[in-house]
Amino acid sequence: MTMITLALSKGRIFDETMPLLAAAGIEVLEDPETSRKLILPTNQPSVRVVMVRATDVPTYVQYGGADLGVTGKDTLIEHGGQGLFRPLDLNIAKCRVSVAVRSDFDYAHAVTQGSRLKVATKYTLIARDFFASKGVHVDLIKLYGSMELAPLTGMADAIVDLVSTGNTLKANHLVEVERIMDISSHLVVNQAALKLKQAPLRHIIDAFASAIRQD
Ligand code: PRP
Ligand code: MG
């Protein structure tokens, strides 16, 4: 039996991948929110799901720890995409990467004045590219979470982070001043696995493709 391993992360990506898996006849048998198991069985003995940190999904697929995975475009850009075949934009877990500042910070003025901006983010590649294309000089401060705190504590002038509902920004008196890119999650497949396990992987890719919802 050829085992197929799918890497997912908890939360929206897991939840919104379930209907796509259902289209492939696959049902995950345990809930990652309540189970402490990292390998979840499915109704198909030859398919299992591994639960990893969102930022680790491309790495697991790149090195063959998983044959395929679902990951945000943001994560994929920061990873670099080496060794990954990227057949489908799944149009799920949609959000955007934006620049946000304290509501009392005059971002437009700082940019036109050519000031150096201190920018806190976990998306250093995306942020570096974006500000370079605008000709804005930035000092990037790498963080791993809760970026919103950086401008509030005076550590940074701006953040580059994901915005979905906008509630987190609002709750912390921050405002979105630039939209850098729209994000959705993509299916990524290990390039070697695609050759060695062609039939079962094709079945999953085709089922996902037929179940993608457009809006
Ligand atoms: C994400 C993101 C924002 C928030 C955006 O953080 O970094 O903080 O969600 O969502 P909203 O616009 O709907 O409020 P998350 O809580 O996932 O965790 P992290 O930043 O610690 O990784
Ligand atoms: Mg956050």
Site to substitute for ligand 1 among 146, 172, 185, most atoms within 8 A of C-beta: 146
Q: Is 161 in the pocket of ligand 1 (CB under 6 A)?
A: yes
- What is the structure's pLDDT at 1? 87
Contact 21, 210 (CB under 8 A): no
User: Residue 193 contacts by C-beta under 8 Å, 6 or more apart in sequence?
Assistant: 64, 67, 68, 201
Say how far apart CA 69 and CA 53 lie, in whole Å. 12
Kindly state the percentage of the chain with pLDDT values over 70.
100
CA of 166 to the centre of ligand 1 (A): 9
Nearest atom in ligand 1 to the alpha carbon of residue 171 is 14
Report the CATH architecture of 4-93+184-211. 3-Layer(aba) Sandwich (3.40)
Q: Nearest C-alpha to atom 3 of ligand 1 is from which residue?
A: 162
CA of 122 to the centre of ligand 2 (A): 10
Nearest atom in ligand 1 to the alpha carbon of residue 166 is 12
The per-residue pLDDT of the chain, averaged, comes to 97
* Domains 4-93+184-211 and 95-183 equal at CATH topology level: yes
Q: What is the pLDDT of residues 105-117, one digit of tens each?
A: 999 999 999 999 9
The SS3 call for residue 43 is coil
CA of 183 to the centre of ligand 2 (A): 15
Q: What is the pLDDT of residues 165-176, one digit of tens each?
A: 999 999 999 999
CA of 198 to the centre of ligand 1 (A): 36
**Helices 12-23 and 198-211, interaxial angle, to 10°?**
110
ipTM: 0.97
Residue 211, pLDDT > 90, answer yes
The SS3 call for residue 51 is strand
CA distance between the termini of the chain: 38
Number of neighbouring beta carbons within 10 Å of residue 70: 26
Of 11, 15, 8, 43, give the one whose Cα is nearest residue 29.
43
pLDDT band (50, 70, 90) for residue 215: confident
Helix, strand, coil percentages for the chain (3-state, nearest 5): 35, 30, 35
Q: Is 164 in the pocket of ligand 1 (CB under 6 A)?
A: yes
Say how far apart CA 190 and CA 205 lie, in whole Å. 12
Question: Would you list the domain boundaries of the chain?
Answer: 4-93+184-211, 95-183
Site to substitute for ligand 1 among 161, 165, 183, 185, most atoms within 8 A of C-beta: 161
Nearest atom in ligand 1 to the alpha carbon of residue 164 is 12
Rounded (5°) CA angle 21-26-30: 95
Residue 89, pLDDT > 90, answer yes
Contact 125, 81 (CB under 8 A): no
Q: Is 163 in the pocket of ligand 1 (CB under 6 A)?
A: yes
Contact 78, 101 (CB under 8 A): no
Report the CATH architecture of 95-183. 3-Layer(aba) Sandwich (3.40)
Structure-block tokens of residue 68: 């395929």
